[in-house]
Structure formats: structure tokens, C-alpha cells
Chains A and B, each alone.
Chain A
Amino acid sequence: MASIYLDHNATTPVRPEVYDAMEPFFRVRFGNASSIHRYGQEARSAVEEARSRVAGLVNARPSEIYFTSGGTESDNLALKGIAYTRRAFGRHIITTNIEHSAVLNSCGFLEREGFEVTYLPVDEYGRIDPGQVADALTDHTILISIMHANNEIGTVQPVGEIGRIARDNGVCFHTDAVQSAGKLPVDVEAMHADLLSLSGHKIYGPKGVGAIYIRNGVEIEPTAHGGHHENDVRSGTENTVGIVGLGKAAELAAEEREREFRNLSEMRDALEARIRFEIDGVRINGHPERRLPGTLNVSFSGAEGDSLIMSLDLAGIAVSTGSACTSGAIEPSHVLLALGRDPRTALGSVRFSFGHDNTMEDVDYVMSRLPGIVSRLREVSAAQVPG
């Protein structure tokens, strides 16, 4: 049976080069990076090399990169860390209504702690206008947190302009770049970012490791207190194996980004064009141009998303509705609702996300099965297809 993975925004396989780089650190080079002896030195030098690689991916200095357990921890650290450090200066935070749940739920927590959060609404393509950010600023604003690219629809935000507004107003700017790293240019200087979140497993590194960029001079209160690791930002013995994997993944991502962008765009655009041409009653979600290269989110009227995914899975095609983190919940995607989609349309949406190992043959295979699956589910629901 076919086995086609089109869910790279959920997670990616570890690249062989990454695996090979990690392997010695399980058993042979197992030292604690804080130990003084040669085992420790070996681990320390590997951790610092990885730090340079990650810094290189986002145009930061190595001293501005701190390793974490992943995107969720980095987002939590950024929001809570800044909120606690700066609360004497104000208690207002600006974000959007389409952020990842790691940001939205951290904001919810901070609201319960007495902070005030403005959730900016996006337009029908999922974009924020920088003017909205400027208008939402108050004398009490301490942090703006706006994602670089959305995980469900791929829409890319004008983070450079938003960062400029933050910088001009003396407000911290955090961006969640978990989905964009390795796919788009990510440059903390061009973005005027003070904090930025990254994850290993979205860029062909291992799960359980990520990083946060914190601009030199920006102080944050840690969420885990302990043995002063990672310059006291994130205590806990360094996950050397994971960090080495993230470093190698970051190196490959930086080297291959432009080629990946072209390949992913080509496959995505081909699938999008064929779906539009061969299936009635479809709507593409996300910005037509300002979008992650491999991401395609489509609403099929009259066919429900979970049923589509199960049917595609039975045909050997792995995709998802919106975010893997919220599967199991019955509610329609908060991102699609934010675009103004009605709940029924939002429920009938599927996200295809291409990756390194996909080919044009995969697009052909999807199109050999998808139209039949959609019409079968429409037959079951007796949906009238508009147009």
C-alpha cells in the first residue's frame, strides 16, 4: 500500500545525517556538559557547536541562544519570563487570535495572574496589519507576541514591520518561528525580534528539544529554577543528544533552505491547482502568496475533516485537520473561525504539509484518490455542492 506522509507541520522524521550526528552521544560521549573532566568537556564542546549552528540559522549570536525542551517551553518562557520581569512597567500584552495554543494558553494563564491581553483579529487570509499593532499599544504594553507563520494555514505575518513598531516604542517583541525556521528566512535583526521560539522536530531534528533566542540585554525570569544551566535561563542538565540533533538539523536547514523553498512551493502549488481544477466546492484557507511554501489548507464543502483524514489514511495518505495538538477536540479550528469561516466549513478542512522527502508523484497519488473520497463523503452527507 502507498505510504505518503503529508503532515510535516505536525512533525518531521529525523534526517539520517541528524541521527548519525546524535548517535555517539547516547553511549560513548555521554558526559554531563557541566562536568570538568574530559567527558564533560566533550559534551560541552558539542553543545556549544550546536548553539553556533542554531544561532546561524536565525542570524543571532551564540550567546543569545538557549536550549529548551521544544516550542511550547520556548513560548512559555518568552511570555511568562517577560511578564514577570517587566510587570513593574506595565501589565499589557498584545498577541493575535490565531497563535499556537502554547502562546494562547500562556496568555490565558497571565490573564488569570492579572495581566491584560489584546488578541488582535486577523483578516480573511489570516494576516495582521502592522497598523493594528500600533493602534493597540498603550503606555502599559510590555510585550508583543506574534507568530512568524501559522501552523494551520501557513500565513506569514509582517514581523519585520511589527518588530519595528515594538522597537520604536520600547516594547519587547517575541515571535514564534517554530513553523517558519528552515522554510523562510528567519533573521532576528531584520525582524527586530527580542525573543524567538524554535523547535527541533519541525526541522528534521528530534522531538523534545528546541531553543529560544533572547537578545543580549533582555532579562527574563526563568520558569524552571535550578542549577544555573543555560546562563540561568533554563536550568536542568543539557539534553546533549537532542541539542546535537537540533544543531545538525539547523545546519542542514540553513544550507538547504532556498532549494527546499522551491521544491515545497512547486509541490504545494501543483496540488492546489489540481484540487481547484478537479474538485468542486473547495476553498483555500490562508494567504495566496504570503504563505509557508509546503502548506495547503483546504475546505471541502459537505465533507467533514475527520472523515476525510480517516479515508485518506486508509488510502495510505497521512494529513491532518489544522493542528495535531488539538485533534480529539470537537470544536472547529480557532484559526479557521478567525478567518471568518463558518463552523461547518471549518470542520470540513484538511491541511496538507509537504516536506523534504515528498515528490511530484505524491501529488499524483493524492489526486488519484482525493476526488473519489470527497464525492463518497458528499454522497453520505447528501451535500449539495455549490456552483
Chain B
Amino acid sequence: MYSSTVMDHFRSPRNVGDLPDADGVGNAGNPISGNTIALYLRIADGTVTDAKFRTFGCAASIAASSMVTEWLIGRTTEQAAAIENKTIADALGGLPPTKMHCSAMAADGVRTAIEDYRNRQDANPKDEYEAGKRQSY
């Protein structure tokens, strides 16, 4: 049912945990009746330097969360914000059709975390690179 990559990330998830001083936090999923992800990002010079997650969910959700943290580290905020769930599913060697929503949840987590980061920057710019770029818009 699951690819060997999914099983590998499920058995040994990467980057489980949280970042107390995260620059952006993304929560996605359905906390009342379904799977949820909390994604924590550290960002410097417009680039994700660290990512951690906590996920309540099925094997595919945990694998997608783990995979997305690996994918994120080293990406720019623009790249991260443009993530599609297919990117995650492909990186996992594919997901069964009934489990595609798990990769969508991870992608939602990324977009929400980047949005949170940008809101924080707008309110209190600490990252001059990002702030400078925004002013040029």
C-alpha cells in the first residue's frame, strides 16, 4: 500500500519536535475530527534553516510531515510558499489516492508557517533581507 520511502519516514521520522524560538509556526489539519500538523520553522536571510514538526495522524501523514521538513531546509521562503502537495507525494514515491489529503495537510502547514513568518516580519521586521525585499514591492 505504501512506498518504501513512506515506510522509512514513518518508521524513522526526521525532525520530530518543536522550535521554542521559531520564526514561523504553521498549524493545519482538522483538530476536532482528523489529522493535524504543527510545523516550526527557523528562517534566516529568507531561507529555511531548520524545521521541526508534531503530527497526529496516519502513517502517510507522519511520513509527509517528516519529508516536508527535509524538503524545506535550505529552501527560500518563496519556494516554500509555492509548495504543492504533489511535490511532497512525489518525494515520498507516491501516495495512495485515499491518502493524498495527508500530503495536502503538510503543504497547508508549510503555507501557514510562511504566512505566520511574514506576518511577524510585517509587525516586527528583524530579517532585513526579507523586509528590504518587501519594501521594494
A positions within 8 Å CB-CB of B = 302, 304-307, 310, 314, 328-330, 332, 342-344, 347, 379-383
B101 touches A (CB below 8 Å): yes
Besides A329-B98, A347-B34, 19 more A-B contacts (Cβ < 8 Å) are A304-B58, A305-B58, A306-B57, A306-B59, A307-B10, A307-B57, A307-B58, A307-B61, A310-B58, A310-B59, A330-B98, A342-B32, A343-B32, A343-B33, A343-B34, A344-B31, A380-B54, A381-B55, A382-B18
Q: Are A381 and B54 in touch, CB under 8 angstroms?
A: yes
When distances are taken between beta carbons in the complex, the residues of chain B under 8 Å from A329 are: 98
Complex interface: chain B residues within 8 A of A382 (CB): 18, 38, 54
User: How far, in Å, is A273 (CB) from chain B's closest CB?
Assistant: 27
Query: Contacts of B57 on A, CB cut-off 8 Å?
Result: 304, 306-307, 381
Distance of A347 Cα from B58 Cα, bound (Å): 9
Question: Quick check: is B19 within 8 A (CB to CB) of the other chain?
Answer: no
The majority secondary structure among interface residues of chain B is mixed
B120 interfacial by beta-carbon distance below 8 Å = no
A residues in contact with B34, CB < 8 Å: 330, 343, 347
Please indicate the chain A residues that have their CB under 8 angstroms from the CB of B18 in the complex.
382
Q: Does B121 contact A (CB under 8 A)?
A: no
| Complex contacts, B32 vs chain A, CB 8 Å | 342-344
Asked if B44 is at the interface (CB within 8 A of a chain A CB), the reply is no
Pairwise interchain contact A330-B101, C-beta atoms closer than 8 A: yes
Taking the nearest CB of chain B, how far is it from the CB of A135, in angstroms? Answer: 31
- Give residues of chain B (5-62) contacting chain A, Cβ–Cβ below 8 Å: 7, 10-11, 13, 16, 18, 31-35, 38, 54-59, 61-62
Most buried by A among B7, B18, B62, B101: B62
CA–CA, A305 to B55, complex, Å? 13
**CB-CB < 8 A to B101: which residues of A?**
330
Closest 7 CB pairs of A and B: A306-B58, A343-B33, A381-B56, A382-B54, A310-B59, A304-B57, A307-B59
B98–A328 touching, CB < 8 Å: yes
